[in-house]
Structure 1
């Protein structure tokens, strides 16, 4: 599958466009990587772990070798490694990888900086995970197709891919254009979100003042993808089957499902 550690960005990622707001603009998930777990990471991981354990009872998932794609601060990758899995974890954010690699038990995981659309893992794996709506950050359909093909190529025959996405309904409902201000670990934050109905893209502008008085801006964008499109692209890219669940409870998705959990098999 090629050598690991290479990084290419063909465009279409959530932070490829110009940012807005005051202060120094930095890439998404760079400065906020240090407090990501406090903001949402720990909560998101707990939800993911609960669903993962349920899915392992429903599907014949082999977690002996795992690729954690868009691993963030590495909560899931370290959890899997502690369960006995051989884990390689990738992310496009160098800062996220630094945080992940500095955590306790990080030595059990091989961390690599890679673009999910161009994975180059050391070898194929039996299980690939891509959690917490990471795929929503791909703003172009072509980028999504590349990611699906990359996921399929990373798996052994019979392997599984578990990934989830925010729905367009969730992204739309979360955008109210009203500022949200709060403080956390010495950071003062002001978040403003908006929804682009034509492009199905939510934009979150995070203006932050750090502990030393420095001001910076991160812009996070996510695109809502139809469940039918996701299933069609996964099958087109060579997955033999795929099923969709409402991430809350793993029941059948509805028009008001906030997040969809997909299970695809090679």
Structure 2
């Protein structure tokens, strides 16, 4: 299962993503929302790095499919206004609606079937209050092509060999990772494979509209740059 062993070292290795910048971006649009944003749903919360940035909201529901990631998030954040729940983004179900739904750090790229992405967008629409925002990002084909390499690195007693393979026919990127974690005088080895799929912006916009969303804005990363022609990460700000 993905993120079983990787979960314990995720925060040590995943330092390139700027959670503060992502939060400032999200907060900018939240501050301009037509509704008073109080309830937030986070899809694919992982170890809770972005959840920590959301603590100023009255109520946060954060979910992930990985028990290991959720355990780390739960132990990291003890705030009373956060609920961590195990659910699958492909068919999540809550008996309530939210003002903001967020999914950052390419979580939706892990969904490899177009039909399941369509289902996610429809489900988000059903879980949003009128005037609510859905903010998410996707790695693009440009990103995966730039990843198409191998490298070796060592961080804090963690030695790893990271290989990327992007298939331009099926638009799927494979991350193949061998980890060696120092434990005393020895190294513990484990291996993980992760798959992500690139989706054309035209397809994403089309299925968002079909799901019922009325306003769709796209940006080149979390930079407020609207030219996405060569974007490696597209951020979508969508209003119900």
Could you state the TM-score of these two structures normalised by the residue count of structure 2?
0.92
CA distance in 1 between partners of 2:134 and 2:80 (Å): 24
CA distance in 2 between partners of 1:145 and 1:205 (Å): 27
| Alignment of 1:93 onto 2:63 | no
Aligned to 1:35: 9
Does the residue aligned with 1:221 lie in a helix, a strand or coil? Answer: strand
| Alignment of 1:165 onto 2:133 | no
2:219 and 2:228 in contact (8 A); partners too: no
Task: Identify unmatched segments of 5+ residues in structure 1.
Answer: 1-26
| Alignment of 1:207 onto 2:182 | no
Question: How many corresponding residue pairs?
Answer: 237
Alpha-carbon deviations, 1:160-218, whole Å to 9, x = none?
Answer: 10011011111111112xx3111223221111111101011111101112233321111
Q: Given the superposition, is the C-alpha separation of residues 106 and 211 from structure 1 closer, same or farther in structure 2, using an over 3 Å criterion?
A: farther
Aligned to 1:79: 53
* Between 37-46 and 181-190, the greater mean CA deviation after superposition: 37-46
Task: Identify unmatched segments of 5+ residues in structure 2.
Answer: none
1:61 shift after superposition: 6.0
* Between 216-225 and 241-250, the greater mean CA deviation after superposition: 241-250
Q: Given the superposition, is the C-alpha separation of residues 36 and 102 from structure 1 closer, same or farther in structure 2, using an over 3 Å criterion?
A: same
Does the residue aligned with 1:263 lie in a helix, a strand or coil? Answer: strand
Does the residue aligned with 1:251 lie in a helix, a strand or coil? Answer: coil
1:36 shift after superposition: 1.6
1:117 counterpart (81, 90, 105): 90
2:45 and 2:51 in contact (8 A); partners too: yes
1:253 and 1:260 in contact (8 A); partners too: no
Could you state the TM-score of these two structures normalised by the residue count of structure 1?
0.83
1:137 counterpart (81, 87, 110): 110
Does the residue aligned with 2:85 lie in a helix, a strand or coil? Answer: strand
More strand by share: 2
Alpha-carbon deviations, 1:102-146, whole Å to 9, x = none?
Answer: 014344310011111111124110110011111111111011111
CA distance in 1 between partners of 2:84 and 2:16 (Å): 19
- Runs of 4+ with deviation above 4 angstroms: none
Aligned to 2:19: 45
Q: Given the superposition, is the C-alpha separation of residues 84 and 59 from structure 1 closer, same or farther in structure 2, using an over 3 Å criterion?
A: closer
